[in-house]
Amino acid sequence: MKLKSLLSTFAAFAVGAAFMGTGLVSDAQAASHVEKITLRATANSNENDEDYDGLVVFKNYVENASNGTIAVDLFIGTQLCSKGAECLQGIADGSIDIYISTSGGAAGIFPYVQVLDLPYLLRDDRIAEEVLQSDFVRTMRAQMLADSGDTIRLMTIGNTGGWRNFANTQRPIQKPSDMEGLKIRTVVADLPQELVKALGASPTPIPWPELFTSFQTGVVEGSKNGITDVMGMKFPDAGLQYMTLDGHAYMGALWFMSNDRFMAMDEGMRRVVVDGFAALQQATFASPKRKSIAAYEEFVAGGGNLYVPTPEEKTMFREAAAPVFDWFKENIREGETFYQALVDAAAAAEEKIDGGAMMDVK
């Protein structure tokens, strides 16, 4: 048997085996006479992005696990919509079934999603991933359903690009005072601008497509991005040569679905979709880790300067950013609720993971 055929056979067997114990395969087979379901999923990115990796995993899982009852059509780019508000309106009115947004893209409608951008609350990948698989996400889902009149359903939160770090064209940043006076590109959302101001720099909202030229001309001197975005956009060619791995924010990716579309399915198919999003989430957790290795190597090989803050310096950054927490709680609707929910979820994740690690090292 040819390798490709063998792998296809194995993949089909693996999916079938995974569902035999749950009864979902027989449910899907029994529902084979039911009208087929086609889901239109869009990501305003490209095929090199973690969002695309996640959608490919989702599509493969859902189509196989549903025995062909569900088909997933992928629209990568801006064919269906181009901006957060427009895309979320498409979810609400049912013209789009699935959409992925950054917190900045969804903040205009759900301002409390900016809690994901609060700095230095999630310690590392393991903590962030544990939090995003917890009831924290269900709490946010319930709020979004209430706010959208039960039209927009948050399915899961994955990752898109790893961690946000400060990078600039001027000098190494080792402590908050090194940021004094730098013009740092942010998105239009309030919270990233408040963070930049708290650290002594000047926030400058610039559209993403204009950022390369803005570095070249000095309109901005820095940004807060993940390394895969920095290298994917070739920002070092525009002068971005200094990066501080402060990891101030985990780059969460919010995956939305039309609630009407989801609830119109029978329970068996809803379970397939839920499990598909779980597989998607795991793919987006893993993808940036792999891609960042080559990206960091390329950055350094091109003359880039990487700096990893010491624990003491990391504490200095967090202390300098403390006013952002108060601003969020005081100015964002449901800010206090979601700030506390994230802090509590992070503490529970740290206790679980650190407790397990203590047993594992003995």
Angle at 90 between CA 87 and CA 94, to 5 degrees: 150
Instruction: Measure Cα distances from 80 to 14, 31, 43, 110, 152 in Å.
Output: 33, 30, 9, 21, 17
What kind and span of H or E run contains 98? strand 98-102
The C-alpha torsion from 70 through 24 and 279 to 117, rounded to 10°, is 90
Which has the closest alpha carbon to 221: 202, 208, 207? Answer: 202
Rounded Cα distance, 299 and 139, in Å? 39
pLDDT for the residue numbered 349: 97
Query: Cβ neighbours of residue 238 under 8 Å, at least 6 residues apart?
Result: 169, 212, 213, 215, 216
Cα R_g (the chain), whole angstroms: 21
- Phi, psi of 35, rounded to the nearest 5 degrees: -55, 135
pLDDT for the residue numbered 33: 60
Query: Cβ neighbours of residue 254 under 8 Å, at least 6 residues apart?
Result: 100, 101, 102, 103, 106, 113, 154, 157
The half-sphere exposure of 254 on its side-chain side, counting CA atoms within 13 A, is 27
- Residue 204's DSSP bridge partners are 185
What kind and span of H or E run contains 50? helix 50-65
Report the predicted TM-score, pTM, of the whole model to 2 decimal places.
0.87
Fold classification of 7-360 is: D-Maltodextrin-Binding Protein; domain 2 (3.40.190)
Classified as helix, coil or strand, 70 is: strand
pLDDT for the residue numbered 305: 97
Neighbours of 301 (CB within 10 A): 8
Tens-of-pLDDT digits for all 362 residues of the chain? 443 443 344 344 444 444 444 445 445 444 446 689 999 999 998 898 899 999 999 999 999 999 999 999 999 999 999 889 999 999 999 999 999 999 988 999 999 999 999 999 999 999 999 999 999 999 999 999 999 999 999 999 999 999 999 999 999 999 999 999 999 999 888 899 999 999 999 999 988 889 999 999 999 999 999 999 899 899 999 999 999 999 999 999 999 999 999 999 999 999 999 999 999 999 999 999 999 999 999 999 999 999 999 999 999 999 999 999 999 999 999 999 999 999 999 999 999 999 999 999 99
Instruction: Measure Cα distances from 24 to 30, 59, 199, 268, 279 in Å.
Output: 10, 17, 52, 6, 16
- The letter for the amino acid at 64 is N
Which has the closest alpha carbon to 88: 137, 161, 163, 147? Answer: 147
